[in-house]
Amino acid sequence: MKRLKDVILANTDFDFDAFGEAKGRSISDKDRDKLLTDLSDVNKGNTWLVKIAVAMLVLLFLIQVTLILINPKETLLLQGLTGILGLSAAGCIRWLLGIWREKTNTETLVRLSTDLKGDALKTVIMVLARSKNI
Domain of 31? 4-130
| Number of structural domains found in the chain | 1
Whole-Å CA distances, 8 to 22, 67, 93, 100: 14, 46, 25, 17
pLDDT of 25 higher than 70: no
The secondary structure of residue 133, as a DSSP letter, is T
| Pair 72, 89: CB distance under 8 Å | no
Angle between helix axes 75-115 and 118-130 (nearest 10 degrees) is: 150
pLDDT at 49 over 60: yes
Residues above pLDDT 90, as percent of the chain: 1
pTM above 0.85, yes or no: no
What percentage of residues in the chain have a pLDDT greater than 70?
Answer: 80
